[in-house]
Structure 1
Amino acid sequence: MTGGNSGLGEAISRAFGASGARVAVNYVTHPEAAQAVVSELQAGGQDALALPADVADPAQVGQMFAALDERWGGLDVLVNNAGIDGPRALGWEADPDAWRRVLEVNLVGPFLCAREALRRLTRQRSGVVINISSVHERIAWSGYSAYTASKAGLSMLSQTLAQEAGPFGVRVLCLAPGAVRTPINAAVWHDPRGLADLLGKVPLGRLGEPRDIAGLAVFLASDAAAYVTGTTVFVDGGMTDYPSFMQGG
């Protein structure tokens, strides 16, 4: 679980632990938060460990997977969750280094982690890679061209890896949240006007909760979803259903 020490990653880590899985919680900052998640899982009787790595760094990613090999002899499920949205800027005003960093974390990072995971999963001829995408793999978002580009790229990366890994019995797919109540967007849902605007984009009329995403991630990794691969599963309350057309075109 990359980026497993806060927000959606933390919720997904807990959900996998509750299902009986061994959980590796990756982090790049706030090691105390990662250790808190690990300690909670261990207190519940689950085997868990915290693993530091910048997912955009191939050497650090390699060391992280080597640590998994040493501890558990490999893995069965990779959840690529680590991601950033970057500073808001119109495309022609964006800082190239900041723009590139978003792509490195959100697209190169999942590739590097999937690369290591698939080397192992294709060899054992089983396993699942779940890439946490976003509704913004489909919906444009002014001011965040790096983020939208990274998530659209992640979708096609997932489809291509699924095509490549399918003959080895390995599934690859995206899970795309919409507006979910997490610390990263707290400034929006704490502001009444911001919240009202956001809810106007969601036909179900509520924000998603981390558990809405976490439960589906566990399902998609399970044998109950054994025929699901090469696609994006949206969990967005209908945000990608063009709610502005609810009153006609």
Structure 2
Amino acid sequence: MSGRRVLITAGASGIGLGLAKRFAAEGDQLAICDADGDAIAQVKAGHPDFIAHHADVTDEAQMDAFLAQVEDVWGGVDVVCANAGIGGPAGRIEDLDYGAWRDCVGVNLFGAFLTCRWAARVMRAQKSGLIILTSSTAGLFGYPLRSPYAAAKWGIVGLTKTLAMELGGANVRVNCICPGAVEGDRMERVLANESAATGTPIEDLRAAYVDCTSLKSWVSVDDLADMALFLASPAASKVSGQILAVDGHTESIN
């Protein structure tokens, strides 16, 4: 086996799959999990060399089984991308359902905890490694009508800073990528939810997401992969505890 050992949660679609393909193109070994069993099956068919496991990041037993498999096969890990997340409900806080709030925070934040708890133990023992967490520009600003998502993504920022402090002495780096509006199916679902909550046409919301950035553009999965690959490269050997926005520079919240 050659190349880095890279683990990515929610790696069967969207940002996670984009990251996996780019790391694989660099010659790295990949292990992914995803709550979507059909998506995992498709990845297995197209990438039989991947470790691909059907697991919900909020289910401790499922994650333990996935992570134990990775540790058994690889004996360690070099890069862990705690990437799993969901958009959650849209609406005023007084109108939100507790279960929907809990589920949003659970996937975005508690899933990161289960992933990072394992990564910290393994990387501390081997005295090397990189953890990349996926937050959002919602983790840098307030986000009206998306309170559970913003709360969870701010939590990811705090987790990043804390783990960088806890693990730095073991030569383990921890950083956080904050995407802006990323092209793809997930953002289309976000737009639909926000449109339903506000009555604003989807096309108006789409334009607003572009207008609130300095570069007046959406972000691509490749933009995020470029940042992840940089963080995993020797050029970033002293980059840790950083919250790195890849968003075209958000000037205001739409």
| Partner Cα distance (1:185, 1:212) in 2 | 15
For the residue of structure 2 that corresponds to 1:211, the secondary structure is helix
Equivalent AA in structure 2 for residue 119 of structure 1? R
Displacement of 1:197 in angstroms is: 1.7
Distance in 2 (CA, whole Å) between partners of 1:125 and 1:230 is: 17
1:22 corresponds to: 29
CA contact (8 A) 1:56 1:104 kept: yes
Answering whether residue 244 of structure 2 is matched by residue 237 of structure 1, we say no
Aligned to 1:3: 10
Residue 43 of structure 2 corresponds to 37
Shift in CA distance, 224/36, structure 1 to aligned 2, threshold 3 Å: farther
Using the alignment, how far apart are the partners of 2:179 and 2:86 within structure 1?
14
Equivalent AA in structure 2 for residue 127 of structure 1 = G
- Residue 138 of structure 2 corresponds to 136
Gaps of 5+ in 2: 1-7, 193-200
Moved more, 11-20 or 218-227: 218-227
TM-score by length of 2: 0.88
- CA deviation after TM superposition for structure 1 residue 243, in Å: 8.7
1:60 Cα offset (Å): 1.7
Matches within 5 A, 1:162-177: 162-177=164-179
Structure 2 counterpart of 1:177, one-letter code = P
- Between the aligned partners of 2:32 and 2:17, the Cα distance in structure 1 is 8
* Bigger Cα displacement from structure 2, 207-216 vs 125-134: 207-216
Q: Which residue of 2 aligns with 1:159?
A: 161
Q: In 1, are the aligned partners of 2:18 and 2:225 still within 8 Å (CA)?
A: yes
Partners of 1:135 and 1:84 in 2: how far apart?
A: 14
- Give the letter aligned to residue 58 of structure 2: A
Pairs within 5 Å for 1:91-240: 91-186=93-188, 188=191, 191-239=202-250
Q: Give the TM-score of the pair, scaled to structure 1.
A: 0.90
Identity %: 36
With over 3 angstroms needed to count, the CA separation of the structure-2 counterparts of 1:94 and 1:191, relative to structure 1, is closer
Q: Deviations over 1:120-168 (max 9, x none)?
A: 0010000011000000001222121110000001101110011000000
Of the structure 1 ranges 48-57 and 189-198, higher mean CA displacement relative to structure 2 is found in 189-198
Distance in 2 separating the partners of 1:21 and 1:99 = 36
- 8 Å Cα contact 1:38/1:50 also seen in 2: yes
- Structure-1 residue corresponding to 2:5: none
The answer to which of 57-66 and 15-24 deviates more is 57-66
Partner of 2:61: 59
Quote how far apart the aligned CAs of 1:214 are: 1.1
More displaced 10-residue stretch of structure 1: 75-84 or 192-201: 192-201
Secondary structure at 1:23 match in 2? strand
**What whole-Å deviation, never above 9, does each CA across 1:100-120 have from its counterpart, x for those lacking one?**
111111111101110001100
Partner AA of 1:181 in structure 2 = E
8 A contact 1:14–1:37 mirrored in 2: no
Q: Contact conserved, 2:40 with 2:54, CA < 8 A, in 1?
A: no
Q: How many residues align?
A: 238
